Chains A and B, each alone.
Chain A
Amino acid sequence: MNSVTPKQYQSASEIAGLVANRETSAVEILERHLNQIEEHEKDVNAFNLVTINEARAAAKETDKLIVEGGNVGPLAGVPIAIKDNLCTKGIPTTASSKILEGWKPPYDATVVRKLKEAGATIIGKTNLDEFAMGSSTENSAFGPTRNPHDLSCVPGGSSGGSAAAVAAGFAPIAIGSDTGGSIRQPAALCGVVGVKPTYGGVSRYGLLAFASSLDQVGPFATSVKDAAIVHEVIGGYDPLDSTSIKQAPNSFVNEIDQGVNKLKVGIISELMGGIDGITQEVIKQTNIAVSALSDAGAQVEEVSLPAALYCLSAYYLIAPAEASSNLSRYDGVRYGLRVDGANLKEMNVNTRTEGFGDEVKRRIMLGTYALSAGYYDAYYGKALKVRRLLAENFADLYKDYDVLLSPTSPCTAFKLGAKIDDPMTMYVNDVCTIPSNLVGHPAISIPFGSGKDGMPIGVQILAPPMNESVMYQVAHTLEKASQ
Chain B
Amino acid sequence: MSDSISSDEVKHVAHLARLRLTSEELATFTEQLRAVLDHAKDVEALDLDDVEPMSHPLPIENTMRKDIPNPMLKPSDFLPEAPAVEGGRFLVPKILGEEE
Contact = CB atoms under 8 A, between A and B. Distances in A.
Interface string A290-324: 00000000000000000001101110110000001
Given A342-B93, A356-B19, A385-B51, A243 B56 contact: yes
A382 B52 contact: no
Given A368-B13, A372-B16, A388-B52, A465 B58 contact: yes
Interface string A341-361: 111111111101100100001
Interface stretch (A34-42, A75-83, A220-228, A328-336): A328-336
Contacts of A415: none
A213 B53 contact: no
A103 interface: yes
A106 interface: yes
A477 B82 CA distance: 51
Interface residues of B, number: 49
B67 interface: no
B78 A106 contact: yes
A316 B20 contact: no
Contacts of A214: 57
Interface of A: 103-104, 106, 199-200, 213-214, 239, 242-243, 245-246, 309-310, 312-314, 316-317, 324, 328, 331-338, 340-350, 352-353, 356, 361-362, 364-366, 368-369, 372, 378-379, 381-389, 391, 422-424, 427, 438-440, 465
Given A199-B58, A338-B83, A385 B48 contact: yes
Given A310-B42, A379-B37, 5 more contacts: A200-B60, A213-B57, A338-B84, A344-B92, A353-B20
A365 B81 contact: no
Given A384-B53, A427-B36, A378 B93 contact: no
B57 A199 contact: yes
Interface of B: 5, 9-10, 13-14, 16-20, 29, 32-33, 35-37, 39-44, 46, 48, 51-58, 60, 63, 65, 73, 77-78, 81-84, 90, 92-97
A245 B10 contact: no
Contacts of B20: 349-350, 353
A344 B58 contact: no
B9 A369 contact: yes
